[in-house]
A and B are shown apart, each in its own frame.
Chain A
Amino acid sequence: MLSQTTQTATASHQLPQVTEPRNPGMALDLDWVRSLQANTSAIERRAASLPARRSVKKKHQAAWLLRAVTCIDLTTLSGDDTEHRVARLCAKARQPIAQSLLDAMGMGPITTGAVCVYHEMIPPAVRALNGSGIPVAAVSTGFPAGLSPFHLRLAEIEESVKAGAAEIDIVISRRHVLSGNWQALYDEMRAFRAACGDAHVKAILATGELGSLRNVARASMICMMAGADFIKTSTGKESVNATLPVTLVMIRAIRDYFERTGFRVGYKPAGGISKAKDAITYLALIKEELGDRWLQPDLFRFGASSLLNDIERQLEHHVTGNYSASYRHPTS
């Protein structure tokens, strides 16, 4: 059993506000990295059998879906984002589930885990979320390809932090993984982490472009060694984004890292999770492989935009007994 040592401090906020020491990283340990294995067939079997092994029904399902909502990084990453569009999203983040439904379920107020935007949209997001306690996350470092000049990528992080982003989602250089240049990957991540300062850093691996699950395992471990607070699957722009097998590999790496160092690193699957049922499966997988501590928004996030609407419909179904329609729920 993983030890559950985190302190839970109660605050005025509905969410349990937990304090977790940040992962400081460690020296690059290539022996460990190279010893990592990921057997694709076996991992796929586990991923395929999990949804059938864990089924969450009725009240429990509603509670789990509410928990999923609190773990959503409500995201807009479009070229046509405007201030008003972002403000609309932030309003949804403050009140993701209609008050009437929350009341019917006897739930207090909840919010999403964060709002995730491009750099230029940080100021409007910060304004819109003022006083809510919801952090603004910004994608950075030449997102999504990460191929802009290195000094500009660092500068982008610094600018975003200055603009008020509390979380920075960086993209790693996939070429370092594909060419086996682990030292370069480690150094890059170290520099990104340093540039973030007090802002938390999520390392986007773009797993759909890493070629193999073994590479996913190794890249995950290196980013954690270099001080990532979160590891994240994808930008949402690759052709293959978050999958259960990739998740299994990344969270097993998180578990190994915790067992070795005692530091908990968070996990964020992003892209392709749009159904309430999928969200439950992800939560169950986290619960099984990492434990309940990781089912909190400080250690687990969904990077998603349309997931929330499906959850709203399922929750309304839970409350009314009738299947719902999306137009009944406020759009973001």
Chain B
Amino acid sequence: MTISEIFETMDYGVAPESAAEALAWLVDQGDRFGHFIDGAFTKPGEGFDSRNPATGEVLATLTQATQADVDTAVKAARKAQPKWEALGGPGRARYLYALARLLQKHSRLFAVLETLDNGKPIRESRDIDVPLAQRHFYFHAGMAQLMEEELPDREALGVCGQIIPWNFPLLMLAWKIAPALAMGNTVVLKPAEYTSLTALLFADICRQAGLPKGVVNIVTGDGTVGEMIVAAEVDKVAFTGSTAVGRRIREATAGSGKALSLELGGKSPYIVFDDADLDSAVEGLVDAIWFNQGQVCCAGSRLLVHEPVAEVFYAKLRARMDKLRVGSPLDKSIDVGAIVDPVQLNAIAGLVAANTAGETHVAATELPSEGSFYPPTLITGLNPADTLMQEEIFGPVLVSTTFRTPDDAVALANNSRYGLAATVWSENINLALDIAPKLASGIVWVNGTNLMDAAAGFGGVRESGFGREGGWEGLSGYTRVKGTPKPLKDIQPNQGDGAPTDPIDRTAKLYIGGKQARPDGGYSAPVWAKSGKLLGHASLANRKDVRNAVEAAHAAKGWSKTTGHLRAQILYYIGENLSARADEFARHLDDMMGGKQGAKEVEAAINRLFTYAAWADKYDGKVHGVPIRGVALAMKEPVGVIGALCPSEAPLLGLISCMAPAIAMGNRVILSASDPYPLAATDFTQVLETSDVPAGVVNILTGLQGDVATPMAAHMDIDAVWSFGTRSLSGEIEKASAANLKRTWVNHGLARDWMGTAGQGHEFLEAATEIKNIWVPYGE
């Protein structure tokens, strides 16, 4: 076209970013890559092609890691770890700072390589992925510097196996490696097989930074390599990817003692109220679902529009979609690039083709004739029952329905197995700040979307996984409490055949929904004193009693909305009433367990109640220093319903050590009492009954913990399970928890000193809360 023709048409033309330097780098590496192990690249071996999805061209040949490769990498990481940790926070900070600087120096090379490999628009890799990756290294250089001062009780986990997805290859690498290294861990990371190139360039950067050998190891390959890493001698597995694979990893690591964090799928709601700035909310959707071709775990993919503005909003949205430019990812004027691989393209097309409901609008935009491209698509008029409203599409496809009221919006938003992120648009601060805490998600964006920063934790609830990445909250995933716990001793119940200690029968029942309840199975077991005399009978709870307790706990959901002050009052009151009966409790403990420690345990239990009464209104959230004009509020919310298998060895103190932090933070609990010594718990129900604890907030089951562990862990409506009980249960619980990917906190057969500081404090409070980051940009 001539200039005078363009003068008439006012077309954009093309604005290509040169790929020359990135391609030259690949050529310099011989277009073939081995793994990066122990500070050096291995010789390229048998492998697979890495292609540019926009053109189908082969960019390089990568090596499929063998078991031996993974073993060597883990060994290198293991060997390097003690020295890396011993280097100290300030020493590690310098390396992290160097990595950040090098990422910055080579920023365009990383950006172009990322776009070639992944298909995302160069604008995104250049302006979002690469700068955020740098930011994570800068931020965590600071965390390394501060670790010894700010986290004096924490230490590194050891070797971390990290498996990352193809949608943000370099950024996910940064999210995984930066905090791990900062806290003194070493890593073995596997990038996705579609997108390994920037990880290999990062390996090159590690050499330039002089990073000690073995601190970062990168192995390439497909899912089978991921499985090898999961099975390897690592101390932690960190995974970002699909919920299906996350579930398999949960099952595979169950009982191994490996720490685990999972950042999985999502079907995040995007809620538009009638008082929103509708044009801005439309533009927000461009950043929500047409960012990175919609291949974003936290994509606002489920649009919920207030009925009064629905038609106007959809019209604006369709008009905006038609303006999106789809094309060569290296073109600087492109909004939507290539889908990462034809396999993904087919998956998206298949899901959309199978849908017959609603009205589909495909953006009236040109698609390149070749390459892996999918047009921006909107499907309105769907219902929650439609598959596309529930299933993650992971492509540029937005689905929508309308709502009537704020409550309706919350109900629709939370009608999902996922809980990663949510977006709320409203100009009414009351409405927005009322809705945000009600949404089941780890992140809420108010009048914005896909805002991310290293200073604010990222991660979800429900089947979106657990653990947070970024912020202070992200560090607990890469550290543990210092110390070497001892193995837990198994305690066998007393045996006996003596006469009852009290001629009046003591019928200890279950405590469900504020009432003494007979066990569903109708069975009870005798509880013998150390002396062999009969102390009474304890009910044997089964899975149906678990079910009933969960129902009761959910009915008590009002507890989560009470004030910390009120919860503190009730915890003090429990302590007061326990104190009034201290002698009786001490005597019964001594009867059951023998010895004279009962009084001490009761005193510690009262003290623990007071401790968590103190915490109830003091475990504050944070305001993160994110780089926007606005705030990211890290709010601490109750997890929900927690099932806890209480320790055998401290029948009263252990039970209270689980119950008190949980209810102080607003959770409802189902406590499975000490297996061998259940009667302290049943006595305690009488204290609860006299202490104004609302029905259903605390539920207590007795019987064999082994009978209720799996039903609890597999129960879809329990949000977390803790186990300090019998040693053998940890693996069983972790495995069953894969059902809904609930959080678990289990003892792995290790003992805890319930009388000491290990029996209370931050570890418990963290387990009893979820951190939700609510981003509120502001400005008039």
Contact = CB atoms under 8 A, between A and B. Distances in A.
B6 A59 contact: yes
A55 B427 contact: no
B3 A42 contact: no
> For chain A, which range describes its interface: under 10, 10 to 19, 20 to 34, or 35 or more residues?
35 or more
Interface string A33-62: 000011111111110010011111111101
Given A53-B123, A60-B13, A287-B10, A252 B279 contact: yes
Contacts of A58: 13
A214 B275 CA distance: 13
A56 B13 contact: yes
Contacts of B10: 63-64, 67, 283, 287, 292, 295
Nearest to A259: B315
Given A42-B448, A108-B4, A57 B14 contact: yes
A16 B780 contact: no
A74 interface: no
Given A1-B364, A54-B333, A60 B12 contact: yes
B335 interface: yes
B777 interface: yes
A216 B231 CA distance: 61
Given A53-B335, A56-B12, A287-B10, A41 B427 contact: no
A228 to B, nearest CB: 20
A107 B4 contact: yes
B6 A63 contact: yes
A252 B777 CA distance: 21
A70 B364 CA distance: 30
Interface residues of B, number: 46
Given A53-B123, A57-B13, A67-B7, A288 B277 contact: no
Nearest to A211: B780
Contacts of B127: 49, 52
Contacts of B279: 252
A105 B7 CA distance: 11
A55 B332 contact: yes
B11 interface: yes
B275 A37 contact: yes
Contact of B8 (A1, A16, A213): A16
B448 A45 contact: yes
A1 B321 CA distance: 9
A107 B3 contact: yes
A212 interface: yes
B150 to A, nearest CB: 31
Contacts of A38: 277, 280
A62 B13 CA distance: 12
A295 B9 CA distance: 10
A16 B283 CA distance: 32
Contacts of A295: 10
B7 A288 contact: no
Interface string B621-657: 0000000111000000000000000000000000000
Contact of B779 (A1, A37, A41, A60): A41
B1 A39 contact: no
B335 to A, nearest CB: 7
Contacts of B322: 1
Contacts of B628: 41
B333 A46 contact: no
Nearest to A60: B13
A191 interface: no
Contacts of B284: 42
Nearest to B335: A53
Nearest to B8: A16
B58 to A, nearest CB: 28
A107 B7 contact: yes
B356 interface: no
Interface in B479-512: none
B4 A37 contact: no
B310 interface: no
A18 to B, nearest CB: 12
A321 interface: no
Contacts of A16: 8
Contacts of B6: 59-60, 63-64
B3 A56 contact: no
Given A41-B630, A41-B779, A106 B11 contact: no
B427 A39 contact: yes
B15 A56 contact: yes
Contact of B3 (A43, A59, A287): A59
Given A1-B322, A283-B10, A42 B15 contact: no
B322 to A, nearest CB: 6
A327 B446 CA distance: 51
B156 to A, nearest CB: 38
10 contacts: A41-B630, A42-B284, A52-B332, A55-B15, A56-B15, A59-B13, A60-B11, A105-B4, A107-B7, A295-B10
The 10 closest A-B pairs by CB, nearest first: A60-B13, A63-B6, A42-B280, A41-B777, A55-B15, A39-B277, A37-B277, A55-B332, A40-B779, A63-B7
